[in-house]
Structure 1
Amino acid sequence: MSANKTQPTSESVQAFLDTVQPERRRSDAQALDRLFREVTGFEPVMWGPSIIGYGAYHYVYASEREGDFLATGFAPRKSALSLYIMPGYQDFGDLLDRLGKHKHGRACLYINKLADVDQQVLAELIRAGLDGLDKIWPVRAAP
């Protein structure tokens, strides 16, 4: 069985954040880093070239596929801030209704700019996603 394409690296999170363009996206990414650190209590780790992860978990599916992945995190993409905070099997509709302007997929939340959302609600959402994940697969510090 093949490993996940996205793996933790030894690259510096701060060095990566310093390269984010444009300036507004970099500022939002730095603010998100502070928020994720505060809410999760984990030090960030780069996962692949552009995802900043906080915590990790080991999963084992019924298909016997298993691996490790980031518990929560974000990527400051060109088109939006992509936040990986919602396990795809949970319903956070009440929090999302209070969040502000966003889009979401099964396990990703997309925000154009941090000013578009209520950061207190975002903190609640990060915590809820992490707590929900931990009930299924224990969350630990990333390698």
Structure 2
Amino acid sequence: MTGNKTQMSDTDVAGFLDRVVPAAKQNDAQVLDTLFRRVTGYQPRMWGTSIIGYGTYHYVYDSGREGDFLATGFSPRKAALSIYIMPGYADFTEILGRLGKHKIGKSCLYVNKLADIDTDVLAELIGAGLANLNARWPVTPT
């Protein structure tokens, strides 16, 4: 079986953050990095070319597919900040209801800018998502 296409890399996180444009998105990305470090206690690692991850986990699905992936993290994409905090195993509706302006995908939260949300609620959501993931697949610090 093949693993996940997106793999951890040795790309320098600080260097990546320094290249984020425009300046407002770069500032939001640096604030998110600080927030994720504080909430998780993990050091960031790059995944692929544009995802900053905190912690890892190894998954094995019933189908036999297995691999390693970031436990939580974000990517300062052009259209929005993509925040990877909801592995899809729990319902975080109550927390999301207090977050502010956002959209959600299958396991991703999309925020246009941090000014649109309550970052204290985001910190709570990151912690809840990480705890939920860790209960299913043990998380390893990075």
TM-score greater than 0.5 by the shorter chain:
yes
Structure 2 residue 141 is the aligned partner of structure 1 residue 129: no
Q: Whole-Å Cα distance in 2 between the matches of residues 8 and 69 of structure 1?
A: 8
Match of 2:46 in 1: 46
Match of 1:33 in 2: 33
Structure 2 residue 109 is the aligned partner of structure 1 residue 114: no
Q: What value does the CA root-mean-square deviation take over the aligned residues?
A: 0.6
Aligned pairs for 1:39-78 (under 5 A) are 39-78=39-78
Q: What's the TM-score once normalised by structure 1's chain length?
A: 0.98
Identical amino acids, percent of aligned pairs: 65
Structure 2 residue 85 is the aligned partner of structure 1 residue 85: yes
Shift of 1:5: 0.9
Deviations 1:102-124 (CA, angstroms, capped at 9, x unpaired): 00012000000001000100000
Residues 36-45 or 85-94, more deviating: 85-94
Match of 1:6 in 2: 6
Deviations 1:62-94 (CA, angstroms, capped at 9, x unpaired): 111111000000000000000000011211000
**Aligned residue identity for 1:28:** D
Secondary structure of the equivalent of 2:53? strand
Q: What's the TM-score once normalised by structure 2's chain length?
A: 0.98
Structure 2 residues not aligned, in runs of 5+: none
Structure 1 residues not aligned, in runs of 5+: none
